[in-house]
Amino acid sequence: MKHFFWLFASFITSAFLLLSQTASAVTLDDLQQRFSHQPVLRAQFEQQRTISGMSQPLKSNGNVLIAKAHGLIWNQTKPFPLILMMNETRMEQRMAGQPPQVITADNNPQMFRFNSILTALFHADRKALEQNFNLQFSYLGKGNWQLILQPTTTPLDKLFRQITLNGSEFLNEIQINDMQDDSTHIRFFDQTTTPTALTPDEKHHFSS
Amino acid sequence: MKNTIFRPEVHRRIAYAWVLGVIALLIALMVVLPNSHLNSSVMALLPKEHIENVPPALEEGFNQRLDRQLVWLISPPQPDDQAPVLWWQQQLKQMAAFSNTSGQMSADHQQQWGKFFFDNRYALLDSATQQRLAGDASAQSDWILSQIYSPFSGISAKELNNDPLLTMRSAQITQQQNNRTLQLNNGWLTSKDPQGRTWYLLHGELNTSSYDIQSARQTVKKLDQLKQLVAQKWPGTQVLQRGTLFYSDYASQQAQQDMSTIGSVSGLGIIILILLVFRSLKPLWLTLLSLTIGAISGSVAVFILFGEVHVMTLVMSTSVVGISIDYALHYLTERMVHGEDESALVSMKKLFPALLLAVISSSIAYLLLFIAPFPGLQQLAIFAAAGLTGAFLTVICWYPWLSRRLPVRKTLRLGFIHRWLFYWQNGKAFRIGIPLIALLISVAGFIQLKTDDDIRKLQTLPPEFQQQDRQIAALTGQHSDQKWLMVYGESPEQTLQRLESLESALNTAKQSGWLNGYRFLPFPSEQQQQKNIALIKQQAPEIIHRLQQAGINTTLPSFEQPTVKPQNWLNSVASEGWQLLWLSLDNGQSAVLVPVEGVTNPVALKQMANSHSGTHWVDKHTEFSTLFSVYRQHLTTLLGISVLIIGVLFLWRFGIKQGLRCIIPTILSLGVALSVLSLSGQSLNLFSLLALILVLGIGIDYTLFFSNPAGTPSTSMLSILLAALTTELSFGLLAASGTQAISGFGLVLSGGIFAAFILSPLALPERTTPEKIS
């Protein structure tokens, strides 16, 4: 459960930063090489979780912010407000009327282990990723691409069946299929890379 | 009395009586010896001061248990290569010295862990869930929804079905937040150092006490072999170890080494000295006889009173040899010089007053050590007093009979002694100059004198021990400085309730910065468990209702769960790593330790403990250092009073002039002793003060021998010279001990005795008409 949580969290961060600025990439190496230093990316998201045994899928939406120097903010607005902040050292979940739930690299180094594997992406370290996943990259034409990851190591292989990323100029979709036949589909839209400066509100979320 | 006991027929009877006495001592020794043991714990030297109100059995139980724990951290050359660690674990399992070892948890083990928590999830509610449930139901339902909607939580339908209130999940998150440095890694508890090395934690519990010298030695030897082997098989593997075993083995090794070197060197020196002076083997056998009987008397007394003897006592007891031999030497010298002029009994009669005063003053000095509540020193006091008395009685009762055919050496060249005494009696330069020099040395030393009562200074551990300890503390977050809160109660339930009432205070203490962290037993009392179940049962319908409204398909679970008994928790894998902190006696009395670290305000913590019933602040190092300081001050006062009383007695007995001549050497010898200590860079502590008391008790003998009107100055001088030499051979060598407490003790004693010897002729009356040097 916690592996899933952290892997996924890290993964989204990295995938966004890696893939968002690639318009006409043809290979994964190209994606990596074209990695530029765009400091900020904002997007809207729409998530749908399908949990087996549940009569209807759970839908939520909101916006997401990725700032290279600060980390990620997952700001869910519907069906209820929920803010998740994470960076390389801590992960915080905040919701109205409750003390924040904090997990730090100090009190749980294990959770942050996957993070380090995946941040390898930042440095175009394809090798580190390949140690844990089977990578299958395909260029679909017209600037569209797809990356399929299949875990090869324990405990990742006990959690995920497959993770699929779809994108063109930016990362547009993540589809996660886990071993218990539950799935999560996230669609991103309205991606922008400006303004590059954080608003006071956003800064506030990263602090503390 | 003095006259009657030296009538031959009376004295013979007394001698026979002492034969019976010695036989009785031997029988007593044979009876007590098999039940006695040698103790080598440094801690055992310290007072057994029981914490107020805490049942001693609980305290001892914890102490014994903690003494038996061993911890290893093993770092393989490759972080994920577990082969050397597995090998180590196997080797430990094969060693008979351990009753219990642990390392890798099996997958089965981890499953049991999950099952235990799942089965008792409502009774063992974590603090975060408790807080959420304390308000209205929305807090918990909102939190559950946040977990379900969060893309990062990885919640599954299975989890929601099994535990719709997500109490297990919350418990796990809370537990992870509490776990600071160690993490579970493939069943191992591991930690990473800043250099990126991975360290695997292993633990072992000894069968026998760490202080059992022989078994401790064997275990340490075996472990050393294992360390070498593991480094050979997997080069680059590093092993760190911690445990009382290693410290106590080191201490006993050092004490044994001290005993064999100091003992053999001083023994050899004394033998050579006796042979040189007496040119006969007989005095050697005689002194050996009185020493042996002295040692037997001392041992019997110590074993009867204490049931054990401490290694440190044994080391220090070798010094008693140097004093008890004095009685033999005084008599034998007398016989050697005057053997043809007087009968054996007359010689004894002549020496008796001085010998009696000497044995009384030395015994009193040693017995003063008994005042300080330190078992090692009390043993020494008893050993010395009984041993000196035994040796004294042997000399008095048997020597006149046994020394009959002692060769007389009238021709002994005593020129230097006569010259030395002549100058003392006639030269103003000697009589004023030498005491003045001693005074100057005393003042110079006194200016630089520092005091230091830190108990850790008494035994300096080798740097590699300290280094390992620091590394282990950094890697595990568990410090070995033995600071903790002890909570106890008449029953397990009362203990746990008291512990629970302490939690908020501990939290406040942490927020106030009084301490950095603490380890709190994660097991609630029966009362709290029932509260937990009642709380969640009451809130659950509303929570489930809210979840259903939000579109989550879920139903109300059953809350029929029994509470968990402490014993069941202890027997389960859930208490892994916590069992050491809990102790329950057969009568129900129980206690729990709350180790704390990073303490900045011990006073506030102590106050906090005092304001909670059944709670005590335990900080052994500080307690003992304070105790050392208190007793050092007590002994200083005692020493001052003793000097004052002796001074008044001398002035009253001998008159002002002679009285001053007797007391000045004594006072100056104390000054020089202190100065030797401070000039050699050591600081004053309890042990140096004990040595000072002995300097007073022994040094005064020398002036007494010179003041004995029946004695011949030159014979007195010769026997005092021999006495001082033998004392130096035993005490002086203690200064070479590797244990700092002992070497400081030896340093003060040898310096003081030397000064007392040099200055003692001042007690001789000044001659008005110069006498020819013979």
Q: What distance in Å separates residue A141's CA from the closest CA in chain B?
A: 30
B624 and B761 together in one domain: yes
Q: Residue B43: its pLDDT value, please?
A: 63
User: Is B695 part of a structural domain of the chain?
Assistant: yes
Residue of A nearest to B189 (CA): A110
Q: pLDDT-derived band of residue B350, with 50, 70 and 90 as boundaries? A: confident
User: Is A11 part of a structural domain of the chain?
Assistant: no
The β-bridge partners of A186 are A47, A174
Q: Residue B483: its pLDDT value, please?
A: 86
Q: What proportion of chain B, given as a percentage, has pLDDT over 90?
A: 26
The domain boundary, picked from B384, B411, B438, lies at B411
CA dist B283 and B11 (Å) reads 21
Number of compact structural domains in chain B? 2
| A5 contacts on B by Cβ (under 8 Å) | 150, 152-154
Asked if B176's CB is within 8 angstroms of A108's CB, the reply is yes
What is the domain extent for residue B396? Answer: 1-35+280-411
- Is A54 part of the contact surface with chain B (CB cutoff 8 Å)? yes
| A55 contacts on B by Cβ (under 8 Å) | 551, 553
- Is A32 part of the contact surface with chain B (CB cutoff 8 Å)? no
Residue B466 maps to which CATH number? 1.20.1640.10
Taking only the tens place, the pLDDT of each residue in B516-554 is 888 888 899 999 999 999 999 999 999 999 888 888 888
Q: Strand B308-310 relative to strand B37-39: parallel, antiparallel, unpaired?
A: parallel
User: Is A32 part of a structural domain of the chain?
Assistant: yes
B631 and B762 together in one domain: yes
Task: Count CA within 13 A, CB hemisphere, residue B264.
Answer: 5
- Is B555 part of the contact surface with chain A (CB cutoff 8 Å)? no
Q: pLDDT-derived band of residue A136, with 50, 70 and 90 as boundaries? A: confident
B103 residue type, one letter: G
Task: Count CA within 13 A, CB hemisphere, residue A75.
Answer: 14
Find the DSSP H helices in B403-525: 415-426, 428, 434-448, 463-476, 492-511
| B142 contacts on A by Cβ (under 8 Å) | 80, 95-98
Residues 6+ apart with CB under 8 A from B320: B294, B298, B383, B384, B387, B388
The domain boundary, picked from B388, B411, B434, lies at B411
User: Is B285 part of a structural domain of the chain?
Assistant: yes
CA dist A26 and A56 (Å) reads 38
Q: pLDDT-derived band of residue A22, with 50, 70 and 90 as boundaries? A: very low
B440 and B304 together in one domain: no
| B548 contacts on A by Cβ (under 8 Å) | none
CA dist B339 and B407 (Å) reads 8
Judged against a pLDDT cut of 70, whether residue B48 lies above it is answered with no
User: Is A183 part of a structural domain of the chain?
Assistant: yes
3-state secondary structure of B188: strand
B638 and B747 together in one domain: yes
- Is A154 part of the contact surface with chain B (CB cutoff 8 Å)? no
Q: What distance in Å separates residue A161's CA from the closest CA in chain B?
A: 13
Number of compact structural domains in chain A? 1
Instruction: Tell me the count of A-B CB pairs closer than 8 A.
Output: 117
B455 and B402 together in one domain: no
Q: Does the predicted TM-score (pTM) go above 0.95?
A: no
Asked if B183's CB is within 8 angstroms of A110's CB, the reply is yes
| A106 contacts on B by Cβ (under 8 Å) | 180
- Is A5 part of the contact surface with chain B (CB cutoff 8 Å)? yes
User: Is A84 part of a structural domain of the chain?
Assistant: yes
| B192 contacts on A by Cβ (under 8 Å) | 109
Residue of A nearest to B181 (CA): A107
Average pLDDT over residues B281-287: 90
Residue of A nearest to B132 (CA): A98
Judged against a pLDDT cut of 70, whether residue B466 lies above it is answered with yes
Task: Count CA within 13 A, CB hemisphere, residue B493.
Answer: 8
Judged against a pLDDT cut of 90, whether residue B222 lies above it is answered with yes
Helix (H) or strand (E) segment spanning residue B483:
strand B483-489
The helix-helix angle for B282-306 and B244-278 (nearest 10°) equals 150
B648 and B748 together in one domain: yes
What is the domain extent for residue A75? Answer: 28-207
Residue of A nearest to B133 (CA): A98
B405 and B469 together in one domain: no
- Is B176 part of the contact surface with chain A (CB cutoff 8 Å)? yes
User: Is A118 part of a structural domain of the chain?
Assistant: yes
Asked if A51's CB is within 8 angstroms of B177's CB, the reply is no
| A1 contacts on B by Cβ (under 8 Å) | 153-156, 159, 169, 172
Q: What distance in Å separates residue B148's CA from the closest CA in chain A?
A: 9
Judged against a pLDDT cut of 50, whether residue A39 lies above it is answered with yes
User: Is A12 part of a structural domain of the chain?
Assistant: no
Judged against a pLDDT cut of 90, whether residue B675 lies above it is answered with yes
Q: Residue B530: its pLDDT value, please?
A: 93
Arithmetic mean of pLDDT over chain B? 85
Q: Residue B176: its pLDDT value, please?
A: 66
In a 10 Å sphere around its CB, with 0-12 CB exposed, 13-18 middle and 19+ buried, how is residue B413 labelled? exposed
Q: Residue B558: its pLDDT value, please?
A: 86
Q: Residue A7: its pLDDT value, please?
A: 46
Q: pLDDT-derived band of residue A122, with 50, 70 and 90 as boundaries? A: very low
Q: Residue B410: its pLDDT value, please?
A: 67
CB-nearest to B153 from A5, A102, A186 is A5
Q: Residue B42: its pLDDT value, please?
A: 61
User: Is A151 part of a structural domain of the chain?
Assistant: yes
Most confident among B184-188, B607-611, B635-639 (mean pLDDT): B607-611
Arithmetic mean of pLDDT over chain A? 72
> Which DSSP string corresponds to B623-687?
HHHHHHHHHHHHHHHHHHHHHHHHHHHHHHHHHHHHHHHHHHHHHHHHHHHHHHHHHTT--B-HH
B354 and B386 together in one domain: yes
Choose, out of B110, B156, B189, the residue to mutate when testing the contact with A (most A CBs < 10 Å): B156
The structure tokens listed for B690 are 């004990």
- Is A27 part of the contact surface with chain B (CB cutoff 8 Å)? no
Cα-based torsion angle of the residue sequence B761, B762, B764, B768 in order, rounded to the nearest 10 degrees? 120
- Is B161 part of the contact surface with chain A (CB cutoff 8 Å)? yes
Peptide bond into A151 cis (omega under 30): no
Q: What proportion of chain A, given as a percentage, has pLDDT over 70?
A: 65
- Is B184 part of the contact surface with chain A (CB cutoff 8 Å)? yes
User: Is A6 part of a structural domain of the chain?
Assistant: no
B636 residue type, one letter: T
Q: What is the Cα gyration radius of chain B?
A: 35
| B148 contacts on A by Cβ (under 8 Å) | 49, 51, 58
Residue A63 maps to which CATH number? 2.50.20.10
B752 and B638 together in one domain: yes
Asked if A97's CB is within 8 angstroms of B156's CB, the reply is no
Name the residue with higher pLDDT: B254 or B46: B254
User: Is B498 part of a structural domain of the chain?
Assistant: no
Which ipTM score applies to this complex? Answer: 0.77
The structure tokens listed for B246 are 């290693």
CA dist B163 and B9 (Å) reads 99
Q: What distance in Å separates residue A4's CA from the closest CA in chain B?
A: 6
Angle in degrees, CA B336, B341, B343, rounded to 5: 80
Q: Residue B365: its pLDDT value, please?
A: 81
| B138 contacts on A by Cβ (under 8 Å) | 97
Q: Residue B748: its pLDDT value, please?
A: 93
In a 10 Å sphere around its CB, with 0-12 CB exposed, 13-18 middle and 19+ buried, how is residue B358 labelled? buried
B761 and B626 together in one domain: yes
User: Is B360 part of a structural domain of the chain?
Assistant: yes
B298 and B382 together in one domain: yes
Q: Residue B51: its pLDDT value, please?
A: 62
- Entry field: residues in chain B: 774
Contacting A residues, span 121-140, partner chain B, CB-CB under 8 Å:
none
| A9 contacts on B by Cβ (under 8 Å) | 151-152
User: Is B26 part of a structural domain of the chain?
Assistant: yes
Asked if A93's CB is within 8 angstroms of B146's CB, the reply is yes
- Is A187 part of the contact surface with chain B (CB cutoff 8 Å)? no
CA dist B99 and B82 (Å) reads 24
Q: Residue B452: its pLDDT value, please?
A: 84
Q: What distance in Å separates residue A137's CA from the closest CA in chain B?
A: 24
Cα-based torsion angle of the residue sequence B263, B269, B270, B274 in order, rounded to the nearest 10 degrees? 160
The domain boundary, picked from B390, B411, B432, lies at B411
Residues 6+ apart with CB under 8 A from B632: B451, B453, B684, B685, B686, B689
B626 and B699 together in one domain: yes
Asked if B139's CB is within 8 angstroms of A98's CB, the reply is yes
- Is B175 part of the contact surface with chain A (CB cutoff 8 Å)? no
Taking only the tens place, the pLDDT of each residue in B400-443 is 988 887 888 766 667 788 888 888 888 788 888 899 999 999 99
